[in-house]
Amino acid sequence: AQSVSQHNHHVILSEAASLELGCNYSYGGTVNLFWYVQYPGQHLQLLLKYFSGDPLVKGIKGFEAEFIKSKFSFNLRKPSVQWSDTAEYFCAVNFNNAGNMLTFGGGTRLMVKP
Amino acid sequence: NAGVTQTPKFQVLKTGQSMTLQCAQDMNHEYMSWYRQDPGMGLRLIHYSVGAGITDQGEVPNGYNVSRSTTEDFPLRLLSAAPSQTSVYFCASKKGGTNQPQHFGDGTRLSIL
């Protein structure tokens, strides 16, 4: 079955540290890829998305993600995190054979210590 | 522009009660969906709709009903609440097209005693 995996469930970093959150999916066909962020008590907001073209995509707030097709991965990165990045991050994939449906990973809860 | 509006924000029910979670969007989006969010499991799709009068089941549809009589509204009904349905529920909408992002409501936190 098609699935999305986020292997890091909890990450704790100090401010200014670099961040990389992993996202892998199981599907050999065409995909559309998304990262969403959920700040405490808020709804999910789109960070960035990839559909085609340059596999390195830049999103809001200094985040970027790289699509590596051979590894079925779409990892999220940020060179220097801030306390305000404390949130839960969700990777989501639209598999090409699933219409408009999104499959979400289990989420990664990031805590940034000031 | 209100976006996606969910009501209520919080609700406590007793086992066996029924209720409807409301969702409305003012962006004229064709596609609407309901998710439940549980710790460590991300968001799981309950039901979705690709347009007025059309609904379909997602990953975890049991115990829930939906209808889509208008483009704007997509209510989720719990027929007979069970403790396993304690969760945070999110409604989302999007334009048609697989490369369009979802827009989420603020969520409804539901507890079933």
Residue B100 has pLDDT above 90, yes or no: no
* Nearest residue, CB atoms, B41 vs list A99, A102, A106: A106
Residue-level pLDDT at A30: 86
* Mean residue pLDDT across chain A: 92
Instruction: List pLDDT tens digits, range B14-60.
Output: 999 999 999 999 999 999 999 999 987 889 999 999 999 999 999 89
Three-state SS string over chain A comes to CCCEECCCCEEEEECCCCEEECCEECCCCCEEEEEEEECCCCCEEEEEEECCCCCEEECHHHCEEEEEHHHCEEEEEECCCCHHHCEEEEEEEEECCCCCCCEECCCEEEEEEC
Residues A102, A93: contact at Cβ < 8 Å? yes
CA distance B31 to B49: 6
B43 by DSSP, 3-state: which?
A: strand
Question: Higher-confidence residue: A87 or A40?
Answer: A87
Q: Which CATH architecture has domain A4-113?
A: Sandwich (2.60)
User: Would you call B105 an interface residue with chain A, using a CB distance cutoff of 8 Å?
Assistant: yes
- For residue A94, give the chain B residue with the closest CA: B98
* Nearest residue, CB atoms, B42 vs list A34, A49, A107: A107
Residue B1 has pLDDT above 70, yes or no: no
B25 by DSSP, 3-state: which?
A: strand
Residues B76, B47: contact at Cβ < 8 Å? yes
Task: Please give the average per-residue pLDDT across A48-58, as a whole number.
Answer: 94
Task: Please give the average per-residue pLDDT across A42-47, as a whole number.
Answer: 91
* Interface with chain B: mutation pick from A8, A67, A104, highest number of B CBs within 10 Å: A104
Domain boundaries, chain A: 4-113
Q: What is the DSSP letter of B83?
A: G
User: Would you call A45 an interface residue with chain B, using a CB distance cutoff of 8 Å?
Assistant: yes
- Mind telling me how many Å the CA of B106 is from chain A's nearest CA? 5
Residue-level pLDDT at B81: 95
User: Would you call A102 an interface residue with chain B, using a CB distance cutoff of 8 Å?
Assistant: yes
Interchain CB contacts (distance < 8 Å): A and B: 59
- For residue A4, give the chain B residue with the closest CA: B42
